[in-house]
Amino acid sequence: MRFLSFLRAAFPAKAACLLFLLGAVAGCSTTGTLSTVQALRPSGDPSRHAVIVVDGNNGKVLFQANADAARYPASLTKMMTLYMTFEAMDSGRLSKTTHIPVSAYAASRPPTKIGFRAGQTIDVDSAIYALVTKSANDVAVALGEQLGGSEERFAEMMTAKARQIGMRNTVFRNASGLPDDQQMTTARDMAVLGLSLRKRFPQYYRYFSARSFDFNGRTIRGHNDLLGRVQGVDGIKTGYIRASGFNIVTSVSADGRKLVVVVMGGDTARSRNAEVEQLIERYLPSASRGPVPAAAPADSMPAPAPEMALAGAPVRPEMPIE
């Protein structure tokens, strides 16, 4: 300390340089978290940005940043709507050919949507594709009303299911992700849901790989540009509200290694996707290697995801567009 004091007095410029170098060395000796965040170039405003990368084989968290901060899920909400739909199919309450009526309320939901008139119907198989690709708000509400009697009741069922599978800081208020000040989640909870969908419903998981589907004579294309472009990516769901930024939950499977990557709060879909690609490139090689999966049996019932406790603070939502 005496030497540094002397140096400051005698050679102020050299002292500043030396202190900078010492600080840089000290920073390198702490953890890799800060340098990793900087190297991966976060895609959005720090007040909205949240990331988690989880090893899909063993549930180990490989990287996280703001993973416990509360965020609006936007259309990531539809992942739970689909979870509930898959459960109903497993129990026999729904089949792929069941026709779901679209109420006047469901038909009135703002875009994105398919565009139904009140009283029209959609089969469950097409409804699933509509949620996965188009992120259709009218279809999400119709499914919620079918399964819960009302969307409000269905949202209560969604929140109860979230607790059951280990999502301890998520509250659902609707089936679609349309703005609601009380509808909150975290990046960690979304990772839990992504892991649970693959483990609990391997027989339905292929839906999340769809990039488009045909309905009533037209081809409806999806929002997830990582599918078919980034090797190993096989789903799951995008989402956007103006105040929360661009969200995504991405599943990756390659050579026995699996990841679930969640990025929330991107400034654009492109910057969000670029961040996901960087995270995959960085962490997939270090993920554990499980057996290269064969086709899963239809009655496969893996254990639910582990519980993860989280907290955070909200932002004000706007209209979702994906």
Listed in sequence order, the DSSP H helices in the chain are: 2-10, 12-28, 33-39, 77-91, 104-107, 124-129, 137-148, 151-164, 187-200, 269-283
Listed in sequence order, the DSSP H helices in 165-231 are: 187-200
pLDDT band for 12, please (50, 70, 90 cuts): very low
Q: Cα–chain-centroid distance for residue 245?
A: 12
pLDDT band for 8, please (50, 70, 90 cuts): very low
Q: What is the pLDDT of residue 244?
A: 84
Q: What is the pLDDT of residue 128?
A: 98
Q: What is the pLDDT of residue 11?
A: 43
Q: pLDDT for 124-156, tens place per residue?
A: 999 999 999 999 999 999 999 999 999 999 999
What predicted TM-score, i.e. pTM, was given to this entire model? 0.80
Q: What is the pLDDT of residue 178?
A: 95
Who contacts 57 (Cβ-Cβ below 8 Å, separation ≥6)?
256, 257, 258, 287, 288, 289, 290
Task: Kindly tell me if the per-residue pLDDT of 13 is higher than 70.
Answer: no
Who contacts 24 (Cβ-Cβ below 8 Å, separation ≥6)?
none
**Residue in 78, 113, 134, 258 annotated catalytic:** 78
- Cα–Cα dist 137/180, whole Å: 14
- Cα–Cα dist 252/230, whole Å: 9
**Residue in 43, 75, 103, 244 annotated catalytic:** 75
Q: pLDDT for 43-76, tens place per residue?
A: 777 878 999 999 999 999 999 999 999 999 999 9
Q: What is the pLDDT of residue 292?
A: 58
- Cα–Cα dist 56/51, whole Å: 15
Q: Is 212 a catalytic residue?
A: no
Task: Kindly tell me if the per-residue pLDDT of 40 is higher than 70.
Answer: no
Q: pLDDT for 197-253, tens place per residue?
A: 999 999 999 999 999 999 988 999 888 999 999 999 999 999 998 878 999 999 999
Q: Is 135 a catalytic residue?
A: yes
- Cα–Cα dist 132/201, whole Å: 15
**Residue in 135, 196, 244, 253 annotated catalytic:** 135
Burial 27-37 (b: 16+ CB within 10 A, else e): eeeeeeeeeeb
Fold observed for domain 37-286: Beta-lactamase (3.40.710)
Side chain identity at 82, as an amino acid letter? Answer: L
Q: What percent of the chain has pLDDT over 90?
A: 72
Q: What is the pLDDT of residue 223?
A: 82
- Domains of the chain, by residue range, sit at 37-286
Q: What is the pLDDT of residue 112?
A: 93
- Cα–Cα dist 172/183, whole Å: 5
Q: Is 209 a catalytic residue?
A: no
Residues 185/239/133/254 CA torsion (nearest 10 deg): -70
Q: What percent of the chain has pLDDT over 70?
A: 78
Q: Is 113 annotated as a binding residue?
A: no
Q: What is the pLDDT of residue 304?
A: 37
